[in-house]
Amino acid sequence: MRIVATGLILFTMAGCTTTSKLSNQNLSYLYYKGSSIMHPEYRVYHVSDSVSRLYCSINTDEFLYSKDGDNQKFTAAYMISYKLFSSFESKEVIDSTSATFVYDKSDGRKQIINSIDFKAQSPNSYLLEVSAFDIKRKQSAKMFVNIDKGSKYTKQFFKVDSKIKKQTNFNPVVHGRDVLAIKPAMKDISKMYVKYYDINFPVSLPPFSVQEPKKVKYWPDTLYQVILNEEGIVESTMDKKGIYHFQIDTITREGLTFFHYYNDFPKLTSADQMIGPLRYITTKQEFTEMMTTNDKKTAVDNFWLNITGNPDRGKKVIKKFYARVQDANQYFTSYLEGWKSDRGMIYIVYGAPDVVYKNSFSENWIYGEEGNLVSLNFAFVNVLNPLTDKDFKLDRSPIYKNSWYLAVDAWRQGIVY
């Protein structure tokens, strides 16, 4: 195990044990930002056909610090633990481990990175339940990571480091200033292929729409080669907006994908970026006028002022609406920005769901009490997509029409739905 933080390390290993199926548990906390102060990021790299490595990055500002004994140093103590399952549907815990770390605040780093090795055999797929626990605050954050060792060409067989940050890269969303060092686990190769896709995807259709959504094309706009250096690494800067799909073999569909939307993503920093999500709550004419005007900021301000009635109320509604947009970008980004996705659309208009059930192939969201006839249920199917494993399509139905217009009308009256 590689250690970045200093301190005491504890292990707890377990063989095969059983628990309740994850697919039967309410996982709505995954899409509720207030569920934890900690927001760790994870990445998995397959070291070999039998061993994989989990990287964890935590913002040190999210720790609770206290003075440690007689040395009067402010320290944080935290634990990273995982459980390995074959899938969401499995009760059996194949393996589990916990490691405890102590971090000295005087170290001064904003991000702390740890890694834990675990056994996972090719060619199989697994599910990793990972928890980060702040021992002093007594609060945890739980996430799930798909482990894909079904093919030696999948994204987790590539090690990716940020040259600027000089650390492991955790985010498939890149910015123009990023320089990434990409190293495939496969030996004895001298080059890789990059498929570039221009990004110009429409927003999601309403949940009651019977119109066939535009199909994603998997034919790249450009195909080019990149040469690995003597260390088996290629350094890449993806400064042009679009999708970059790195492959060892173009005959397969698997590979490593990066997405460049704009430099401040997932934040919204311009009027242009603020107009797009308004499509869900505007008429076609209103949206067209905002998109074609020269003064987009004034158009956005006027829209919110008109529906809320006064600037103070407008500020509150604007804050709530665009917080949901940014959260949608954080949670649901795939080959398109999170706010454009089906899950992002529902999240923005209806808010965070009360109940979420996940399995290997779909997600089910419930608004209201489970089992209540007046509650809303949305089903999203995970679509096979070579560019991402986060492409979920809504099972649309006319039954959503009334609830959709009720929610949209509330927003248009200046009421947060």
Domain ranges of the chain: 1-150, 271-412
Residue 247's pLDDT band (cuts 50, 70, 90): very high
Residue 7's pLDDT band (cuts 50, 70, 90): very low
Res 37 pLDDT > 70: yes
* pLDDT for position 216: 77
The least confident of 16-25, 113-122, 297-306 is 16-25
What crossing angle do the helices spanning 311-332 and 342-350 adopt, rounded to 10°?
150
What's the DSSP call for residue 363? E
* pLDDT for position 16: 61
Query: Contact 381/390 with Cβ under 8 angstroms?
Result: no
Euclidean distance between CA atoms 125 and 221, whole angstroms: 31
Res 3 pLDDT > 60: no
Res 71 pLDDT > 80: no
* pLDDT for position 15: 54
What's this model's pTM, rounded to 2 decimal places? 0.93
Phi-psi region of 7 (alpha: psi -120 to 50; beta: other; left: phi over 0): left
- What is the residue-averaged pLDDT of the chain? 93
pLDDT one-digit tens code per residue, 95-114:
999 999 999 999 999 999 99
The least confident of 8-12, 138-142, 268-272 is 8-12
What's the DSSP call for residue 29? G
Kindly state the percentage of the chain with pLDDT values over 70: 96
* pLDDT for position 215: 77
Q: Where do we find the tokens 């377990």?
A: 14
The better pLDDT of the pair 177, 324 is held by 324
Euclidean distance between CA atoms 101 and 79, whole angstroms: 6
Give the fold, CATH level 3, of 1-150. Answer: Immunoglobulin-like (2.60.40)
What average pLDDT score do residues 21-34 get?
Answer: 95
Residue 68's pLDDT band (cuts 50, 70, 90): confident
* pLDDT for position 270: 94
What is the rounded end-to-end Cα distance, in angstroms, of the chain? 47
Residue 378's pLDDT band (cuts 50, 70, 90): very high
